[in-house]
């Protein structure tokens, strides 16, 4: 495709996103400095229409992009621009002071909905992909202890353990030191192998209590709790009701299902991905677009986030926002925890 045709497609997408009105050749000639006449632009628009990239919703009206047109725009034209310093500072101040993981996720999903004016979804960090940051053992009573496991994603798992025999404070402190030395920094999937043999050196009957504590730690590490997601901004979709060809209800119904939201984010990677219209796997979401990205450390994605909105969305800004928020929450979790 010729550069001029791409520039005209870009102009149609940008004008339609901004105005919600079909775009005519005169508007493009006046506002986009392409250096060609409206007649030439009309000829190029005819080629774009024949290629299925734009369509004419009414006779004697301008043109609007098709899903194929949006796809080409995203692939060829829409660079992921960096956010401005004020936008970046707004993200930082929004997340500062977060109290715990729930607070971080809640703030992030609200922020994403707010800056994109779309529905936003954030997956909680996956426990199974996390590493051990720290493990605490607290003796509540000679025969009762509390185990607290803290991961690098900020997740905190806590268990109360009734012990078969009393254990001395010194013994528990020694066990605490041994376990942290063995598991700190390791993936949860390797906790069981890392603590193998730690029971040696403890005398009976404390050994039975030590075995229970180690078994509880392994259980916590290998558990696979149901993945969770947070959703915000569905009211933004309702405000875009005219964008959806039939009704918004199938979209809202689909977004109510946790499993649907998890599937939406299941293939999010380390860079921004965009699914447009019919590219959506969920039947109820085929009139929407999804912009998504994973977050976490450079070598391991902890979770994912994204926005869902009408196909007539500002893709360049939406991609920039998703990219920035995903990178910031990943950095925030690594720094804070």
| Structure confidence by residue, pLDDT tens digits, 275-305 | 999 999 888 898 899 999 999 865 556 789 9
Q: Pick the more confident residue, 82 or 309.
A: 309
| Structure confidence by residue, pLDDT tens digits, 184-236 | 988 888 898 999 888 888 888 888 999 999 999 998 887 665 578 999 999 88
Q: Pick the more confident residue, 85 or 118.
A: 118
pLDDT at 78 over 80: no
Q: Give the C-alpha distances (Å, rounded to integers) separating 332 from 51, 104, 120, 185, 256.
A: 45, 9, 19, 18, 28
pLDDT confidence bin for 245, thresholds 50/70/90: low
User: Above pLDDT 90, what percent of the chain?
Assistant: 44
pLDDT confidence bin for 128, thresholds 50/70/90: low
Range in 22-36, 123-137, 202-216, 259-273 the model is least confident about? 123-137
Cβ neighbours of residue 236 closer than 8 Å, sequence gap 6 or more: 113, 117, 118, 119, 309
pLDDT confidence bin for 266, thresholds 50/70/90: confident
Q: Which of 263, 259, 257, 273 is nearest to 326 (CA)?
A: 273
Give the pLDDT confidence score for residue 297 in this predicted structure: 66
Q: Pick the more confident residue, 195 or 84.
A: 195
Gap between the terminal Cα atoms of the chain: 49
pLDDT at 52 over 90: yes
pLDDT at 127 over 70: no
pLDDT at 6 over 60: yes
pLDDT at 274 over 90: yes
pLDDT confidence bin for 237, thresholds 50/70/90: confident
User: What is the fold of 85-125+227-336?
Assistant: Beta-Lactamase (3.30.450)
Average the pLDDT over 23-48 and give the result: 91
pLDDT at 49 over 80: yes
Tokens of 147: 């185990």
pLDDT at 243 over 70: no
Do 33 and 93 contact (CB within 8 A), yes or no? no
- Which listed CATH number (1.10.10.10, 3.80.30.20, 3.40.50.300, 2.60.120.10) goes with 3-77? 1.10.10.10
Give the pLDDT confidence score for residue 106 in this predicted structure: 92
Give the pLDDT confidence score for residue 223 in this predicted structure: 65
Give the pLDDT confidence score for residue 211 in this predicted structure: 92
What secondary structure, in 3-state letters, does the chain show? CCHHHHHHHHHHHHHHHHHCCCECHHHHHHHCCCCCCHHHHHHHHHHHHHCCCEECCCCCCCEEECHHHHHHHHHHHCCCCCCCHHHHHHHHHHHCCCCCHHHHHHHHHHHHHHHHCCEEEEECCCHHHCEEEEEEEEEEECCEEEEEEEECCCCEEEEEEECCCCCCHHHHHHHHHHHHHHHCCCEHHHHHHHCCCCCCCCCCCHHHHHHHHHHHHHHHHHCCCCCCEEEECHHHHHHCHHHCCCCCHHHHHHHCCHHHHHHHCCCCCCCCEEEEHHHCCCHHHCCEEEEEEEEEECCEEEEEEEEEEECCCCHHHHHHHHHHHHHHHHHHHHHHC
Rounded to the nearest integer, the mean pLDDT of the chain is 86
Give the pLDDT confidence score for residue 226 in this predicted structure: 59
Domain 129-222, classified CATH 3.40.50.1220, yes or no: no
CA separation for the pair 246, 235 (Å, rounded): 17
Average the pLDDT over 49-62 and give the result: 86
Domain range annotation of the chain: 3-77, 85-125+227-336, 129-222
User: Above pLDDT 70, what percent of the chain?
Assistant: 91
């Amino acid at each position: 495709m010729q550069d001029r045709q791409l520039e005209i497609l870009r102009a149609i997408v940008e004008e339609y996103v901004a105005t919600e009105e079909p775009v005519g050749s005169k508007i493009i000639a006046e506002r986009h400095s392409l250096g060609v006449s409206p007649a030439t632009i009309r000829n190029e628009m005819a080629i774009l229409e024949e290629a299925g990239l734009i369509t004419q919703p009414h006779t004697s009206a301008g043109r609007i992009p098709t899903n194929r047109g949006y796809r080409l725009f995203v692939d060829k034209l829409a660079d992921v621009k960096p956010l401005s310093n004020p936008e970046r500072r707004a993200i930082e101040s929004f997340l500062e002071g977060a109290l715990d993981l729930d607070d971080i996720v809640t703030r992030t999903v609200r922020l994403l909905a707010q800056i994109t004016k779309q529905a936003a979804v954030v997956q909680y960090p996956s426990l199974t992909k996390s590493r051990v940051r720290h493990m605490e053992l607290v003796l509540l009573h000679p025969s009762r202890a509390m185990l607290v496991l803290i991961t690098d994603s900020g997740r905190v798992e806590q268990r109360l353990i009734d012990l078969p025999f009393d254990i001395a404070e010194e013994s528990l402190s020694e066990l605490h030191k041994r376990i942290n030395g063995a598991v700190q920094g390791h993936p949860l999937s390797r906790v069981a192998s890392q603590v193998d043999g730690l029971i040696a050196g403890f005398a009976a009957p404390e050994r039975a209590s030590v075995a229970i504590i180690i078994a509880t730690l392994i259980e916590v590490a290998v558990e696979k709790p149901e993945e969770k997601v947070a959703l915000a901004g569905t009211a933004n979709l309702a405000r875009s009701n005219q964008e959806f060809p039939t009704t918004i209800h199938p979209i809202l119904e689909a977004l109510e299902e946790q499993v649907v939201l998890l599937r939406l984010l299941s293939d999010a990677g380390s860079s921004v991905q965009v699914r447009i219209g019919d590219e959506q796997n969920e039947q109820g979401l085929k009139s929407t677009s999804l912009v998504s990205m994973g977050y976490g450390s450079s070598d391991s994605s902890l979770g994912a986030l994204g926005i869902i909105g009408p196909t007539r969305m500002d893709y360049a800004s939406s991609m920039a926002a998703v990219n920035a928020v995903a990178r910031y929450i990943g950095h925030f979790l690594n720094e804070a925890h």
